[in-house]
Structure 1
């Protein structure tokens, strides 16, 4: 009998925890309708092009040119070498991508959200320069996806009223 009471009590406690689905309402819910109303401003450079595309993929295309919000993103992309051999050659690199983003209300120009996101990746430096450059580019593509996920998650929390 005691084996059945404990799970029952835990189930009752779980329903009172206050959790609610972030994307409730589906594509017509508050979060989804807010995300689709965000226009991502152009971002400089190759990393900016990758980031803007990743954000647009996740946010969806604004329904019209009069978006409720503008998203302004500034990127900081760094590659630093470490893991130095006795002959001063670098054996390992770290690529760091940081983004400062601001969500701006289009009608008033007021900044309603100002935050940062970032990620880093390790890169092996090999004897082939081509392979090292390809690894650096792959790391940038992966970091862009991870940072875009972080940004959209934070925007979703803002839209959900957190």
Structure 2
């Protein structure tokens, strides 16, 4: 009985803290609507193609013209470490970093300038095919992770914009 009472008390305190879900309102909510107004510019390379597709999968377009353009530049590198006595590399680290900028299409103003990135460890085997396949799989996973990080930051930007617009409308009343 004490546990249930404690759970209810914790729930009441949590609801009073002012936290709100970012995606409240689902696909018709303000954050989802703001994200639907973003167009992703082409990104160079295989990693760029993967990141752009992952971003477009997460940005559901509403049919209106884009208000913002997302420009992403990637840095994809593979570094060997874990060396055996015969100087053969046994382990690699693939790192994917993205610098991205959200630009207002109407004014050309840069709204967000940030970075995202992740890395993955890869075992180097005696089979060159297996190593290349592992490197490609790591790039696919890293692309998804980087896209998730970018979308999370853009969602925060949308929340900040929503709050600023609400405060401005309250001041104007």
TM more than 0.5: yes
The equivalent of 1:154 in structure 2 is 153
1:125-140 equivalence runs, <5 A: 125-140=124-139
Relative to structure 2, which stretch is displaced further, 54-63 or 33-42? Answer: 54-63
1:142 to 1:13, Cα distance in 2 relative to 1, 3 A: same
The equivalent of 1:90 in structure 2 is 89
The separation in 2 between residues aligned to 1:70 and 1:3, in whole angstroms, is: 50
Aligned partners of 1:38 and 1:62 also within 8 Å: no
1:18 to 1:133, Cα distance in 2 relative to 1, 3 A: same
Provide the TM-score with structure 1 as the length reference: 0.92
The equivalent of 2:16 in structure 1 is 16
The equivalent of 1:34 in structure 2 is 34
* Residue 69 (structure 1) shift: 0.3
The equivalent of 1:71 in structure 2 is 70
Unaligned runs of 5+ in 2: 164-173
The equivalent of 2:57 in structure 1 is 57
1:7 to 1:130, Cα distance in 2 relative to 1, 3 A: closer
Number of residues of Structure 1 aligned to a counterpart in Structure 2:
161
State the 4+ residue runs in structure 1 displaced beyond 6 angstroms: 1-4
Unaligned runs of 5+ in 1: none
The separation in 1 between residues aligned to 2:4 and 2:91, in whole angstroms, is: 55
Provide the TM-score with structure 2 as the length reference: 0.87
The separation in 2 between residues aligned to 1:129 and 1:6, in whole angstroms, is: 57
Deviation sequence 1:75-127 (CA, Å, 0-9, x none): 00010000011111100000000000001111000001111000000000000
